[in-house]
Amino acid sequence: MSQEAERVYTINLGKVLLSPNNQRAKRAINMIKEFTRRHMKTEEVKIEEDVSHLIWSRGIKHPPRKIRIKMTRTDEGYVLISKFEGEEEQVEKKEESVEKVVPTEIVEPSTDTEPEPTAKPEPKPEPTAKPEPKPEQTAKPEPKPEPTAKPEPKPEPTAKPEPKPEPTAKPEPKPTSKPESTAKPKRKSKN
């Protein structure tokens, strides 16, 4: 067993779409296990919870099309499948190392004998506490005059509403029974 203890793979899960849509996430988990068994040449495979959450994150019908995983052979003899996060760390480090270049202002030489110094604008200090206004300066709102007469209540209607007119007579529906020629004759009673 001179195999590496750790490997990183990108597994294509596109064939999951061939299975019924209510079994796709289950099939994706099985495909990952089959892939691991084939490449790591072992039958004992365990999937970490993070990988399972990643597969099931969008529900059973829509698992991801690709997944990047790390396979690690443990001392107990099984292969542990975990989510690979190495690329994200490398990308973050590259972004930090690249400095943003800010274009500087180009100052044309002036005709004056003395060059004007460029001064940076100083930030204005923010007041820590608001000064309380003096009571003499605050204007008191004038009280609103109270209404002298109240509106009269509306009288309740005493008359009953007129009854609705009855609908006019409807045309009689056409009989749907069989014509008389095909109708069965009535039996005569023996009494």
Q: Read out DSSP for 130-191? A: PPPPPTTTSPPPPPPPPPSSPPPPPPPP-SPPPPPPPPPPPPPPPP-SPPTTTSPPPPPP--
The verdict on residue 34 lying in a domain is yes
Paired tokens of 29: 């988990």
The verdict on residue 190 lying in a domain is no
3-class state of residue 123 by DSSP? coil
Tell me which residue range forms the domain holding 34: 6-86
CATH of the domain at 41: 3.10.440.10
pLDDT digits (tens, 9 = 90+) for 143-154: 666 666 666 666
pLDDT for the residue 73: 95
Q: Is the pLDDT of residue 2 over 50?
A: no
The verdict on residue 65 lying in a domain is yes
The verdict on residue 35 lying in a domain is yes
User: What does residue 63 show for φ and ψ, rounded to 5 degrees?
Assistant: -70, 165
The verdict on residue 68 lying in a domain is yes
The verdict on residue 10 lying in a domain is yes
The verdict on residue 150 lying in a domain is no
Q: Is the pLDDT of residue 67 over 50?
A: yes
pLDDT for the residue 160: 64
Q: Is pLDDT larger for residue 106 or for residue 63?
A: 63
Give Cβ neighbours of residue 23 (< 8 Å, ≥ 6 apart).
60
Number of domains in the chain: 1
The verdict on residue 148 lying in a domain is no
Q: Rounded to two decimals, what is the model's pTM?
A: 0.46
